[in-house]
Amino acid sequence: MTTSSAAPARAPHATDLDRLSIDTIRTLSMDAVEAAKSGHPGTPMALAPVAFTVWKDFLRYDPTNPAWPNRDRFVLSCGHASMLLYSLIHLAGIRRGGTNDAARDLPAVSIDEIKKFRQLDSVCAGHPEHHMTAGIETTTGPLGQGCGNSVGMAIASKWLAAHYNQPGHQLFDYDTYVLCSDGDLMEGVAAEAASIAGHLKLANLCWIYDDNSITIEGETHLAFTENVAQRFEALGWRVERVADANDTAALKKALHAFKAEQEKPTLVVVKSVIGYGAPKKAGSHEAHGAPLGPDEIKGAKEAYGWPADAQFLVPAEVPEHFAKTFAARGKQAHESWQKSVADYSKSHPVFAAELTDFFDGRLPAGWDKTIPCFPADAKGLASRVSSGKVLQALSAGVPWFIGGSADLAPSTMTLVAGAGDFEPGSYGGRNMHFGIREHGMAAACNGMALSGLRPYCATFFVFFDYLKPSLRLSAIGNLGVIYILTHDSIGLGEDGPTHQPIEQLASARAVPGLSVFRPADANEVAETYRVVMQRPDRPAVLVLSRQNLPTLDRSQFGAVSGVAKGAYILKDAPNGKPACILIGTGSELQLCIDAAAKLAEAGVHARVVSMPSWDLFAEQDAAYRESVLPAAITARVACEAACGFGWEKWIGLRGKFIGMNSFGASGPAPALYKHFGITVDAIADAAQSLLK
């Protein structure tokens, strides 16, 4: 631990205004954390010269228009250093933007908001949240996620350029810069993302690695002794090294090397000292996750040559310096881009019309006209197969609908014919090949969604847990990523319990802001896509079967448009007054239909309800919910080849659930359904017992 109180060395080759700006970032970060009595001051203090250099000399960004589509992206993957980002947003003069004329020109982060750091209703949350504050490109906090998101942003830039750029019209060429920490690079999601980026040769991506040798438990050698630079070189990255985070000249040289690189993503390894300038805690893990305290702050400010008792001080020269460098460069670039777009509209009107919809976040006219309507068929289709057919149709109607699977396209039916592959040197294709990297795949899709694309990704439902942290951030960040998750139950059969999802439905349904669908036939699949495509601010999980599901004859059953309400009456009692209600999803809905027929033979009239989406049904008004599930009818049976956790919300404490209460087994699907008691007879018997 460093204990010297000597003034720290100044940033070599930095101007006086640069040094003043860097120290302003540091002191704002210290003061905000101290005021909140909570937060992480050490990393903002150490990385202030790095972030400042990126913003002042490289980042192409118009602070008056934070949503400019061709802006460079800056991602703070080490989200615990959030005060670094809030300080930059404030000093750079980023405006709120948006469509609200009264608010668009207000500062995104005012000094008053910084004073309320980590307090309820402040735009300066403990970790950055992009939907709350302009200037934040993505919601970070869980380490490694920002790294994963950045790969999706770099993919989006490459795809947009390949699809829309024309000779003389460079509409898309933005770069993505990331600040990441030891913790980020220890996380598996960052390793997956780095592997994807290296394979794809995303030369528009730069990760700046804060190699400070400190984590919360202490020095990194406790658990982390690998050679990071060599690992990234092996992954196909260019590696630059900067021996001192305060050496802005060396940082510029490394970043110019990134700008010149055409074949590889770049990792800049920067050595820093956490809590730089604090007299006692510099170089200590203590500076990582707690306020410095008044004495430490006073000592650090004295070391910077700062008024020791000043709090939240912003010298007037600092915003002016940002305005003359960062803002002026961004404004000029934005104005040049706007002129290019105007000229493009005249020379390429078809693409320009597409881009108008894209920029406005609007689906193209007639986007859903090609969605198929499937004829009644007793044999039917596996819902993964009907999903593939709908996916193919949607791809024709939505140019920026792009995605793929974690090496399972033949099984998840996500390969779109004629759409081409997104691969190194061929960035215009729309079929992504993520490899067996579920977590990195989902994190990259979040980055693609943040860039305006409409991404989907796919794997087997049992691997939901491999991508869950990224999916959770889709929900927190209101990102309309579509998760296509197939092989949804014991219907998978012979692969056995390791591949048969049992608890995953309950886990998915527990995520706030996530729509979960388990459609029961091909037309419910089609209607599910129609619903989720119109909700770009809400992620969706589509849970699909391996085995065939009969395509229902809608002249005999309720209209499939009921999917939009989450649950609907599929088949009612003859007089509309059922004695009991049978509720099913996915492959088990047919069991409920057959059980209702068996009950009818015994003189018992049942209502069959299809409930593909719990969350959408819960959003309906009380009158609609009562019309489907009348409170007076307490004899209710639900059937689903999964655990019953949560079903009591819909069947009540008196109702019965037919499903799984253990892991599955290996064997043919029909034998497994019989073995675990998920049968027509079991449903009918449960209803009869309730009526007795």
3-state SS of 194-224 is HHHHHHHCCCCEEEEEEECCEECCEEHHHCC
Do β-strands 580-584 and 606-610 pair in parallel, antiparallel, or remain unpaired?
Answer: parallel
Helix (H, G, I), strand (E, B) or coil at 608: strand
> Does 438 participate in catalysis according to the annotation?
yes
- Look at residues 668, 306, 284, 239 and name the one whose alpha carbon lies nearest to residue 496: 668
- Which residue's entry shows tokens 């600092």? 318
Buried b (16+ CB within 10 A) or exposed e, 527-550: bbbbbbbeebebbbbbbbbbbbbb
Buried b (16+ CB within 10 A) or exposed e, 321-330: bbeebbbebb
Copy the structure tokens of residue 493.
Answer: 């059969």
Show Cβ contacts of residue 484 under 8 Å, excluding neighbours closer than 6 positions.
384, 387, 391, 405, 412, 414, 456, 457, 458, 542, 544
Please say whether the beta carbons of 205 and 168 come within 8 A.
no
User: Is the Cα torsion angle 526, 370, 406, 267 positive or negative in sign?
Assistant: negative
Burial class (CB in 10 A: 0-12, 13-18, 19+), 136: buried
Q: Which member of 286, 438, 588, 640 is catalytic?
A: 438
Task: Compute the distance between CA of residue 194 and CA of residue 202 in angstroms, rounded to an integer.
Answer: 10
Strands (DSSP E) contained in 186-343 are 205-211, 214-215, 218-219, 238-242, 266-271
The DSSP annotation for 17-64 comes to HHHHHHHHHHHHHHHHHHHHT-S--HHHHHHHHHHHHHHHHT----TT
Active-site annotation, residues: 438
